[in-house]
Amino acid sequence: MDTSNLFSLKGRTALITGGSRGIGRMIAEGYLAQGARVYISARKADACDQAAKELSALGHCVSLPADVSTMEGVQALVAAYAKHEDSLDILVNNAGAAWGAPYEEFPESGWDKVVDLNMKSPFFLTQALTPMLKKAATDHLAKVIHIASIDGISVNPWETYSYAASKAGLIHLTKRMALRLAPERIVVSAIAPGPFASSMNKEARDHADEVADRVPLGRVGTPEDMAGAAIYLASRAGDYVVGSTLVVDGGCAWGR
């Protein structure tokens, strides 16, 4: 058994939504370090362009700004990517949103925005990119990785109804899509992160020590923690992990 290239992504292409910051950027850095050509997308063009410029110091990284919360945005991103590549090895559906409000006041807008981006968009973006994923799946498997959350596995104290429901739905959708796409040599899996410092998880970002007290492992996640999980699933090492959700949370889902 030759394990020297087990985690290599050399020569492969990756498209990461929400890739300009937070977990998406952590994954982008990891993929670049492993030799992939990386394309990042984000709704804010300036932030996406700046992130790609900074990440280009590590390897080939291109900014493809798009709002994948709409079908028009999904199609625009696919078209933009197709101007650079004719196939896609790795798709990371990371773009997401959250909304918190008391039960009695929770608005329809807070439901639709979150569910559309967190659950609807990963399905339709993957659907639109399936021909390119199939084209890449020659001597290796193509990969789709959904970024879910431990909030889709266990219940937190906060009233984030649409976020929790959308992430639980994404975890189950991962299983359904995996069964459909595995015969096409496309492996679908997911990651359920716990507390990582990001603009979405400001508590972990701004109060890491307090959050760490609630984590069984005693700390919040690091970029290496997320990159390691994403590299594993994207590389040959994760080829036999089909439809599963890898929990990366320091034990939070089971101990909070």
52 and 253 in contact (C-beta within 8 Å)?
no
249 and 193 in contact (C-beta within 8 Å)?
yes
Q: Which amino acid is at 1?
A: M
DSSP string, 241-254: --S-EEEESTTHHH
Determine which helix (DSSP H) or strand (DSSP E) holds 92, and give its type and residue range: strand 90-93
Tokens standing for residue 13: 């292409």
Is position 163 annotated as part of the catalytic site? yes
The number of angstroms, rounded, from the C-alpha of 19 to the middle of its chain's C-alpha atoms is 8
Q: Identify the CA nearest to 215 among candidates 181, 182, 249, 248.
A: 249
229: left (phi over 0), alpha (psi -120 to 50) or beta: alpha
Round to whole Å and give the CA distance between 19 and 203: 20
Catalytic residue among 31, 81, 163, 232: 163
Active-site residue list? 163
